[in-house]
Structure 1
Amino acid sequence: MTHAHITTWVIAFILFFVSLSMYKAHSPKAKIAHMVLRLFYLLIIATGAMLLFSLYSISALYIVKAIVGLWVIVAMEMVTVRAKKGERAQSAWIQLVLAFVLVLYLGLKLPLGFHVFS
């Protein structure tokens, strides 16, 4: 299940940048890419919930990681919607980078993920 979760995240980030570039190019198909990205948000939440509830005992750091993961999704959506409207998204980008670094650190630190910082 971990691989499915990581795969959905990677595809979501690819779709995120594709959607952004399509909105900046004023492509009429940008809305389709954005809707597919939203579908991947749901897949990320579903695979993350399956991983979280498959644990024998859930520590507080896993709950924090889940909340920060939701924060990443919300920040991605804020950046995409602001690009769609043609508005500045500097604060949303800062949130996205901060949340992504934090969730990546937690994911690599916790025992369920890869053991880089252990």
Structure 2
Amino acid sequence: MTHAHITTWVVALILFVVAIALQAKGHEKTKMLHMLLRLFYILIIATGAWILHSMSSFPFLYIVKVIVGLWVIGTMEMILVRTAKGKNTNVLWLQFIVAFVVVLYLGFKLPFGFSFFS
């Protein structure tokens, strides 16, 4: 299930970048892409919940990772919506970068992830 979770994250990030690029150009298909990205948000949450459910205990850092992961998804959504409305997104981009780095670090650091930071 970890591979499915990582795959949904990668696809969601690609869709996010494409949606931002299309919004900047004022493309008509942005709304459809945004809806597809929302589907991937649900898949990310579902696969993450499945992984968490498969664990015998929930260490505190996994709960932190869940919260930060939801923060990443929230900032992605807010960036897209506020960009579509023509509002300032600088603070949201900063939040997105910080939360994304934290969630990646936790994902690689915790025992269920890869061991880049042993």
Deviation at 1:87, TM superposition (A): 1.4
1:75 counterpart residue number: 75
2:26 counterpart residue number: 26
Deviation at 1:7, TM superposition (A): 0.2
Deviations 1:7-51 (A, max 9, x none): 000000000011111111111110000000000000000000000
TM-score by length of 2: 0.98
Amino acid at match of 2:103: V
1:35 equivalenced with 2:35 (yes/no):
yes
Deviations 1:79-98 (A, max 9, x none): 11111111110000000000
Deviations 1:37-75 (A, max 9, x none): 000000000000000110011101100000000000001
1:114 counterpart residue number: 114
Task: Report SS of the residue matched to 1:87.
Answer: coil
Count of aligned positions: 118
Percent of counterpart pairs with the same letter? 59
1:53 equivalenced with 2:47 (yes/no):
no
Structure 2's unaligned 5+ residue stretches are none
TM-score by length of 1: 0.98
